[in-house]
Amino acid sequence: MKNLYIILAFSLALIQLVAGHPVVGVSKKRDVFYDPEAAAKKLHGELPSGMEQRDGLAVNATEYPSSVADALSPSNAKQSELQSSSVKLSSTTSNSADVRQATTAEVGEHTFYTKLSATAYCRDVIPGGEFTCKYCDESLTLVKTFSTTGTDTNAMVLRGDTQKTIYVVFRGTSSIRNFVVDATFLPVDYPLAEGTKVHKGFLDSYNAVRDNLVKTIEEQANQYPDYKFGLTGHSLGGAQVVLNAIDLFNLNQTRYGPDKLEIFTQGEPRVGNKNFAEYLLNTKISHERLVHERDIVPHLPPSIMGFSHSGTEFWSNEDGIQVCATGIETENCSNSIVPFTSIADHLTYLGVNVGLCI
């Protein structure tokens, strides 16, 4: 009987592969809980008394330390105290085997998507429906915008005929400080993947525009079947495009699979638990997360609560843009800066003012 179960399971997987649908899921075996920020927290020590914080993270550590390099320097008092201990951080420089420098092409691609995310904050664009602003690319056609009042969800679909790409853009929250300081991080079951959980607020805000948004995307996909899909968003918008990507993937794994769809986010918060992060990773969809220096938002909701990132982190700091190994997040790159995080670094990405329409 046991052998029969094995044969049936193998046959099902083979059928799915032959049909062009990858087998997606989460592994049943679980390792001991791993907090990717624990090493940095222990190494750097507690924040100075009186510094505003959220769940042990500095809300605006812009002066202490004065830079990313200073925070990671061995001259840091707490770090010096622990240098001889067993607590070590993996290298966060380009010399690390798991970290490399971004190529010129990659920087250009992230700059394009960062500017695209910034346009979503312009009221003339959303809800105005006029794609005219500082970063509005004239080669793109604005197809439709989506807005809700209850959840303050804002999104748009654009088409690039030169790029042969359909773009989906979500706007971030209108009050990042309220999210950082006052938000309640409540995980709920995610219906599309058994055993996974996501942030309730992110899921509710996405679902508020889901039906009309997906309908528009499907219409564009039917009209332009050879076009690819580029999904992008800053802050809360980054979380929403992740949910949109998985939603589309489950709708049609051929049309919205890894060969056709890519995700680029800026300052994306953790969307769900490790099971959810694994599920997203197992879809094989390219998911690149841009993190600017000490931006606090990618460290929320806290990893200690079980929330986790996946994909490929692109960490923008004084040394350029460092590309971390693809997978479930580790102690490398921006996690090495904890707890010296900052809201200020959330507002500018690659020289682009995101969160404001200028």
CATH number assigned to the domain comprising residue 257: 3.40.50.1820
Locate 261 and state its tokens. Answer: 């769809």
268: tokens are 């994306």
| Number of structural domains found in the chain | 1
Tell me whether residue 110 is in a domain: yes
Domain-located, residue 12: no
* Contact in structure between 325 and 45 (CB atoms under 8 Å): no
The answer to whether 285 touches 245, Cβ cutoff 8 Å, is yes
Is 7 contained in some domain? no
Distances in whole angstroms, Cα of residue 241 to Cα of each of 31, 109, 167, 172, 263: 28, 17, 11, 11, 7
| Residue 271 domain-assigned (yes or no) | yes
CA distance 238 to 271: 9
Predicted local distance difference test score (pLDDT) of residue 8:
37
Max Cα distance, the chain (Å): 67
pLDDT of residue 158: 98
Give average pLDDT by consecutive 10-residue segment, the chain, 358 residues.
42 38 52 79 85 90 67 52 38 57 97 98 94 94 94 95 98 80 86 95 96 98 98 97 98 97 98 97 98 96 95 93 93 92 94 87
Instruction: Tell me if 15 is assigned to some domain.
Output: no
Asked whether residue 9 is domain-assigned, the answer is no
Which range of residues forms the domain containing residue 141? 35-353
176 occurs within a structural domain: yes
pTM above threshold 0.75 = yes
Q: How far is CA 11 from CA 1, 8, 18, 179, in A?
A: 15, 5, 10, 47
200-220 core/surface letters (b: 16 or more CB in 10 A; e: else): ebbbebbebbbeebeebbeeb
Active site members: 235, 295, 346
pLDDT at 232: 99
pLDDT at 65: 63
Looking at residue 89, its pLDDT comes to 40
Q: Do the domain assignments include residue 23?
A: no
